[in-house]
Amino acid sequence: MTRRRPDELEFTEPDDPELLERMLGCQTAGAGWVNVEPIVEEEHQPPEPGPFAFLGGSIHRVPVATWMPGRRLVDGSVKPTTLGLQHAAGPRIAWKLRDLGLPVPSGWRVTQDHPKRGLVVTVPADADNAEVMRWLLAAASATCAVPSTGTWRAAIHAGAG
């Protein structure tokens, strides 16, 4: 089976209409996910990790944020939406974000906060996508170890997830 390449979209605002439309499409289809990362100018790109990078901490100096909509279950209920953030900001990033004025919103739940595997948060499936993306992009900005342009690149995986 051949994997389809994701569609790419560049945007600057978390409530970008095309981004929100694509997120809604994934929700409606019950499949897919969106990976988002800040665009970094070439002169600020971190060096490629060496062959033994897996022995150290996270290599995600430019964070990768993931949004995956909740899935409808056979019984009609819907699993929560899942957010992921791969970063190189060290352990207990949820606490660090809180201290920066970006606490995980009430009703959301941290399910993983690990320096190598990243932060995973579940969000009620009916949460407003623009608000979810606003928090996720703010968290990614706060964990970016290099200067970024303020523009984001989304890779939209619309296939089965």
Nearest-10 Cα torsion for 56, 65, 34, 42: -80
pLDDT at 116: 81
Separation CA 40–CA 144 (nearest Å): 10
Tell me 51's DSSP state: T
Separation CA 107–CA 123 (nearest Å): 7
Q: Model's pTM, two decimal places?
A: 0.84
pLDDT reading at 65 higher than 50: yes
Residue range 54-60: mean pLDDT, rounded: 50
Are 67 and 123 contacting, i.e. CB atoms less than 8 angstroms apart?
A: no
User: Over the stretch 145-156, which tens digit does the pLDDT of each residue have?
Assistant: 888 899 999 999
Are 70 and 26 contacting, i.e. CB atoms less than 8 angstroms apart?
A: no
User: Over the stretch 11-46, which tens digit does the pLDDT of each residue have?
Assistant: 999 999 999 999 999 998 888 999 999 998 776 555
Q: CB 74: neighbour CB atoms within 10 A?
A: 5
